[in-house]
């Protein structure tokens, strides 16, 4: 895709300084800019690169003042970082702007399709599936019976959506995510083996949710596993049966959440966090990476460690732990000195 400086300035509501007709067809970092690329400058420590970059266009803040001549065209905007982010979003939207049905696919006769949808090759749509307007289903996606997918939602290649799942509007499901698989439910028998507990619930995902690649979200044993509006999940996250995640909570990669735990809204959970089952985590909670959560947390808690405890206390404890070898060595020297003094006195 090619764009002129004029087209980009129109998208960003910016002012051009330089060649309005210059054409770009790729993105780049300012220090790695090449002819035909567009970059941005918002951090002052990268200012030196604007005088040497080979990028054809650079987006800058409207207050930016040149100190010497440059060879690139500038587009001045109110906030260069925000404008470049806007441009990236526009670029991605254009890149995946596909419509229609590719072949081969299987679409059940009972499926209901909205307007302006895209269904890629080798997609399977089961009975009574409902696909909203402008939804995009990329190749090799499986969608089971009675699934509903809201308007403007995108399912990338290889994602698997089991039966009865509900996905809201404006969601993004990345490659190879599995949503609605059975929860890990087994009961021990008298013979020492395990009998499977049927998982008869579903998964319900709100609006504006993004789910990273290779995440797994299990269906509820009864009722629903709930992912509320605005939740953002990184790659490779495990969410067990009957878990509930509150609005606008963000969770980093490789976190595992055991069954029936409830997480509040506006929480931030770091990578590789383990959360035990049947506990409640309040609103606005922050959990540092690699923490183990074995008990419920109140609103506004900040915790770290395994088992986790108050973040401030953890930091203080870590200082002592880090200095422990030195402290022990000092104690040993003092004990030896005392013993030597006693030996001499005797």
Out of 166, 174, 241, 278, the active site residue is 241
Task: Tell me which residue of 159, 125, 127 sits closest to 140, measured CA to CA.
Answer: 159
Cα distances (angstroms) measured from residue 330 to each of 139, 273, 323, 333: 65, 36, 11, 5
- Active-site residue, 241 included: yes
Residue 6 CB: number of other CB atoms within 10 A?
14
Q: Cα separation of 125 and 159, whole Å?
A: 12
CB 301 within 8 A of CB 283: no
Residue positions counted in the chain: 346
Q: Cα separation of 130 and 223, whole Å?
A: 21
Q: What are the helix (H) ranges across the chain?
A: 5-12, 80-95, 311-322, 324-345
Residues assigned a catalytic role: 241
């Amino acid at each position: 895709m090619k764009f002129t400086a004029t087209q980009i300035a129109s998208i960003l509501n910016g002012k051009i300084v330089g060649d309005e007709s210059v054409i770009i067809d790729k993105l780049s970092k300012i220090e790695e800019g090449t002819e035909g690329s567009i970059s941005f400058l918002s951090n002052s420590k990268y200012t030196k690169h604007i005088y040497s970059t080979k990028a054809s266009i650079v987006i800058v803040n409207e207050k930016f003042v040149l100190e010497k001549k440059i060879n690139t065209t500038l587009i001045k905007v109110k906030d260069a970082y925000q404008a470049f982010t806007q441009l990236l979003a526009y670029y991605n939207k254009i890149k995946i702007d596909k419509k229609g049905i590719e072949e081969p696919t299987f679409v059940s006769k009972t499926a209901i399709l909205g307007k302006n949808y895209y269904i890629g090759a080798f997609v399977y749509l089961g009975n009574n599936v409902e696909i909203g307007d402008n939804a995009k289903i990329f190749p090799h996606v499986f969608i089971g019976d009675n699934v509903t997918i809201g308007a403007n939602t995108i399912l990338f290649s290889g994602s698997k959506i089991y039966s009865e799942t509900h996905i809201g509007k404006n969601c993004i499901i990345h490659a190879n995510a599995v949503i609605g698989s059975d929860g890990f439910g087994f009961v021990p028998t008298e013979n020492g083996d395990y009998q499977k507990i049927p998982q008869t619930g579903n998964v319900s995902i709100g609006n504006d949710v993004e789910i990273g690649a290779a995440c797994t979200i299990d269906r509820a044993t009864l009722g629903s596993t709930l992912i509320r509006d605005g939740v953002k999940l990184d790659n490779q996250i495990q969410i067990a049966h009957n878990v509930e995640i509150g609005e606008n909570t963000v969770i980093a990669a490789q976190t595992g959440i055991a069954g029936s735990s409830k997480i509040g809204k506006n929480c931030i959970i770091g990578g590789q966090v383990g959360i035990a089952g049947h506990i409640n985590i309040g609103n606005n909670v922050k959990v540092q990476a690699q923490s183990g959560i074995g008990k419920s947390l109140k609103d506004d808690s900040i915790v770290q460690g395994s088992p986790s405890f108050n973040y401030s206390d953890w930091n203080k404890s870590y200082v002592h732990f880090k200095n422990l070898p030195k402290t022990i060595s000092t104690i040993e020297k003092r004990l030896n000195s005392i013993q030597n003094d006693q030996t001499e006195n005797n």
